[in-house]
Structure 1
Amino acid sequence: MKPAELNVREDMARLCKSLFNRGFSVGTAGNVSVRLEDGILMTPTNVTLGDLVPERIAKIDLEGNHVAGDRPTKEVFLHQAFYETRPQAGAVVHLHSTWATALSCLTDVNADDCIPPLTPYVVMRVGAVKLVPYVKPGDPKSGELIRDLNGQYGAVLLGNHGPVVSGKDLFSAVCAAEELEETAKLLVALRGQKTKLLSEEEVAELQTTFGTI
């Protein structure tokens, strides 16, 4: 194993443990992946994010064949679809975090923009978020739903399931997933209240200054 790949594996174990220890993932829920030059590293199936062994993290090649480590997450199709449609994505984080999952269960959420611009940081780190219909966990159709978005969204909420967030690298994807969760918490807390969102002009200014996701 090349030193660079081992470093990525160690970073995955460290950051996933941090997510687990702070309650962004419980039990064996959630999965994380990182794109390499020769494949994709993925968290194994039925393993908690808080207990990853770097050398046992799953690896698939560019054709989707399992080539190293334990058996990959059953959500492999979801991760592959993000990488295939978003060449800028270097990592993908899928959580079952409480507040974002709560939003994914509501019936009156705007499916095309289910995380509205409440704060500048959700605009800067997450961008627009699409709510996609529910499918059974591990169903290859989840990949089809992501491919149908044609790379337009860096993050989605899976209906009645939870958030999936991509980023240019693992650290960025983890930070974006955390930002999405905290914004979802604010949105749920503010439901029924008169809430001021950022204006189109303010969002555009942020995108001009910091770029789009």
Structure 2
Amino acid sequence: MRKYVSECIGTFVLVFLGCGTAMLVGTSPDGGYLLTALAFGLAIVAMAYSIGNVSGCHVNPAVSLAVFVRGDMSGKDLAGYIIAQVIGAFLGACLLWLLFLIGGVTDMTGGLGANGLAGVGGRASVGLAVEIVLTFVFVMAVLGATSSKYDHKPVAGLVIGLSLVLVHILGIGLTGTSVNPARSLGPAVMAFITGNAEPLSSVWVFIVAPLIGGLCAALLYDAIEGRKHEE
């Protein structure tokens, strides 16, 4: 249960700080891109060095799926992690909505920082491709930085956070960058509850694509590094 609570907290922080920054500054190329990318990445760095020793700081169903495929967690924990991550993302989106509503602050994203397909012309196929590739890159970095074969633990959180910044720099202008089903689902559901159904209509892209990307990363990483039982 401590692991699940940690994952809930970590995903809450990711959505609250990452999506909150996007809501506040927007996602325009003249500054909003970089600030939002840094917010997501630095949130991961902060959580990696606080809850990492408890749960591993996945805060992302795609990462949890990859770890499961690699044989490093049970099916029970996979389900528990994903449920906790989705709850945390929804709570983060709820608090953002309340704060922006009470404070009378304009949401520059128009949808609680939810992901969308406007940057790819509304084409789901392109959005799927973008998110699969970005998630693949990110999860490969996670698996490499946390591999038990190498002593990267002291800098793993920093590497993972900077990798998330990297994929956001490209992805924000295309899909808003998900690479995380929970991060997309929480704001999309909250936006729907508050009267904006558009993010929820395309949220399936940001659930399916990251899971495919994470699965591909796990399988390829197994091929190039080797499973533990082969050592």
Identify, as 1 or 2, the structure richer in strand: 1
Query: Larger relative contact order (C-alpha < 8 A, sep ≥ 6)?
Result: 2
TM-score, normalised with respect to structure 1 = 0.30
TM-score, normalised with respect to structure 2 = 0.28
